[in-house]
Chains A and B, each alone.
Chain A
């Protein structure tokens, strides 16, 4: 908006007729966008893989919106269902019989008696029955996916985890696109020393193993979700995305309309932001999708390793199962690991699938004969 005003004041020679058109430039752009969207949707729809990805993303978007609905309608009570502070006070129980303690440490009964230490009243006699609260509890009507070792609802954590993933993925993707298109277009437009220095930096960033770097930064300094999103965005925006977008911008730069804009007196920033960037945007959207996949996975890995400072995330759910020793008891406590692990896989795969579907729009060569 600012730029549009600037260009008009810079060039007082532009006749009024053109000025009136510049006024409604956004209308033209909107109409163009709508038309190209419709055409692209037609191509995208043919590709079943991309559609599948969209369906999965829609599913998770609904999941992420659910807790708000549930809390607002009172279907879920925050005291029980809050993903961080919630606690099931009335967990399902298993009725057990007190038996004599057997001193052989290898027998099953003694192991169980040891586990019960401190959790049952001392007044119990041998032969008495008592109810043992089960935490983590298996799925039932109230907790659709059971509870974790701290008595919190898994389903609620899963839904909030989806929220965190969307937030992280979208923020990282936006940062990537902003940086990637700007750097790529600048390198292509100015060429020379600007191009060389920016591209050497990009070369370096491509080579740095991202997860290793994130582990170092995240481990030595307090690292929050949005920090992570910004760092991932910078790494991918300045690295691979910038290189690909630069080559695209180079192809756009030699088109006649760029020369026309320059002859008409357009400044460098005007040409970059109004002519180069809109034309490399479609390709950058593709890389946006791949960034989301990477971001979701990196976040899950870092939380799984216990390096990220965050409240709810799918990785953190698995980290809890790991630190509490339930990680390998998949048959008995599947709800602690499998839902979270599958969610990470599904959502990151969905964004990747959408990216592949878009690939056919952006690279016409890939379309079916």
Chain B
């Protein structure tokens, strides 16, 4: 297992280097002397000034030297300075935005995978019911809904018509006017508390998947959820710093509900359909017939014999879906003005803040790579065949 993980890790490092190279050369070969012109902000600048601008940006050097400088600077954590938020370095902006994206992204990912898997499992179990086509069509409908339009309809329904949730943004400035904390401070606290709770829950349900005792499995699963909920409640109500920040953290959480809901609903359909077809294939296997013939209860056959095998293609799809899910996150952030990586990518691209755009894109790439790595390892854990054969 360790060898498998290390192999994957080395591959990821090489892929990341390739990704950075491709990104850089892509921006380099595209036509136009865009950088120098945008920097001067004037197409009619005198040639001497142009030369100076090119020199100061290091654009007069040979291609390979420029490329080397870029790579060296990248790994020293120097991504340049944002043009729009002038003296702020790109790394600082990204450091502030990255956790916000991660929280949105992870919350949605966990919710929709879980819900989609459950729904798909039950759908396959009741194959042939009258609503089957209806469900397939609505699943496809959810999957191919135009995201900005769907987000808009959700905002309109929940924020404009029902007035239940905030329209967009990350917090309500009126509430924060005389807050004793920085928004980021509160947010990071929220991030760590939620992350620890999620890890506890995930570990418990993973242990539940490994046991063979049905009662223990149930105890572990519900125990994990209860433990996470208790830790969450204890932090915000039991500790002094948690009590102070509670109101503000709640405000951030309140602004998060709608984006997470939109992302969940959009991605839910795909997972559901995939689980359904994978379950249907598994149900035709002989060992399912054997399990039934043994007289095992329906629930056991479904959950322990069929669903576990059916999970594998769904996890494989996650490998392919990481990029798609990140794309969905980028669009959702743009529609909800959620100040994360996607929003910064779009706003920096539109305002031609090139260092920030390249930095944000690189980090979105890193997110995708890490996502792949995690899913790969998870896949190795779930499917012993992968570990043993060690395919390329």
Contact of A328 among B146, B167, B281, B358 (CB under 8 A): B167
B55 in the interface (beta carbon within 8 A): no
B309 within 8 A of A: no
Q: Which of A29-37, A76-84, A212-220 contacts B (4 or more CB under 8 A)?
A: A212-220
* Interface-located stretch among A8-16, A110-118, A336-344: A336-344
Q: Which residue of chain B has its CB nearest to the CB of A353?
A: B140
How long is the Cα–Cα vector from A304 to B133 in the complex, in angstroms?
32
CB distance from A326 to the nearest CB of B (A): 11
Q: Which residues of A contact B354 (CB under 8 A)?
A: 220
Stretch at the interface among A58-66, A173-181, A201-209, A248-256: A201-209
Contact A352:B334 (CB < 8 A) given known A209-B368, A220-B349, A220-B354: no
Give the nearest-CB partner of B35 in chain A: A220
Distance from B376 Cβ to chain A, minimum over Cβ atoms (Å): 11
The answer to whether A209 and B15 have CB atoms under 8 Å apart is: no
Docked-complex contact A345 and B133, CB < 8 angstroms: no
Complex: A157 Cα to B145 Cα, angstroms: 20
Given A203-B15, A204-B19, A352-B140, are A209 and B330 also a contact pair (CB < 8 Å)?
Answer: yes
- Contact call B368/A204, Cβ cutoff below 8 A: no
Query: Whole-angstrom distance between the alpha carbons of A345 and B153 in the complex?
Result: 13
Q: How far is the CB of B173 from chain A (nearest CB, A)?
A: 19
- B-binding segment of A90-98, A138-146, A293-301: A293-301
Taken together as a complex, chains A and B put the C-alpha atoms of A69 and B372 apart, in Å, by: 50
Residues 142 to 157 of chain B near chain A (Cβ within 8 Å): 143-150, 152-153, 155-156
| A306: interface (CB < 8 Å) | yes
The answer to the question of A43 belonging to the interface, with a C-beta cut-off of 8 Å to chain B, is no
Interface string of A186-222 (1 = CB under 8 A from B): 0000000000000010011011111111011111110
Q: Cβ of B194 < 8 Å from any Cβ of A?
A: no
**How long is the Cα–Cα vector from A204 to B354 in the complex, in angstroms?**
23
A281 interface hit (Cβ, 8 Å) = no
Interface string of A44-88 (1 = CB under 8 A from B): 000011001000000000000000000000000000000000000
Could you name 20 residue pairs across A and B whose Cβ atoms are closer than 8 Å? A49-B140, A203-B15, A207-B15, A207-B368, A209-B323, A209-B330, A211-B331, A215-B346, A216-B27, A217-B26, A220-B34, A220-B357, A297-B144, A300-B148, A301-B148, A328-B156, A340-B149, A345-B141, A352-B143, A369-B284
Residues of chain A contacted by B164 (CB below 8 angstroms): none
Contact B365 A49 (CB under 8 A): no
Cβ distance A174 to chain B, nearest Cβ, rounded Å: 21
Q: Which residue of B lies closest to A348 (CB)?
A: B144
B326 touches A209 (CB 8 A): yes
Residue of B nearest to A349 (CB): B144
Q: Is the CB of B331 within 8 A of A301?
A: yes
**B378 → A minimal CB distance (Å):** 16
Select one of A207, A365, A366 contacting B369, CB under 8 A: A207
Is the pair B346, A305 in contact by a Cβ cutoff of 8 Å? yes
Report, nearest first, the 9 A-B pairs whose CB atoms are least far apart: A341-B149, A219-B349, A211-B327, A344-B146, A349-B144, A209-B326, A330-B156, A209-B323, A348-B144
B136 within 8 A of A: yes
Distance A208 CA – B31 CA, assembled complex (angstroms): 22
Q: A204-B18, A207-B323, A217-B26 are in contact. Are A304 and B148 (CB under 8 A)?
A: yes
Q: 13 new A-B pairs (CB below 8 Å) besides A49-B136, A210-B323?
A: A209-B330, A211-B327, A215-B330, A215-B345, A215-B349, A216-B345, A216-B357, A220-B357, A221-B31, A306-B350, A327-B152, A349-B144, A365-B281
CA distance A307 to B330 in the complex (A): 14
Does A240 belong to the interface (CB within 8 Å)?
Answer: yes
Question: Cβ of A160 < 8 Å from any Cβ of B?
Answer: no
* A221:B30 contact, CB within 8 angstroms: yes
Docked Cα-Cα span, A7 to B330, in Å, equals 51
**What is the distance, in angstroms, from A322's C-beta to the closest C-beta of chain B?**
9
Interface string of A97-120 (1 = CB under 8 A from B): 000000000000000000000000
* A93 CB, nearest partner CB in chain B, Å: 28
Contact B352 A209 (CB under 8 A): no
- With a cutoff of 8 Å between Cβ atoms, the chain A residues found around residue B365 in the complex are 207-209
Cβ contact of A212, chosen from B133, B148, B156, B364, cutoff 8 A: B364
Chain A residues with CB under 8 A of B369: 207
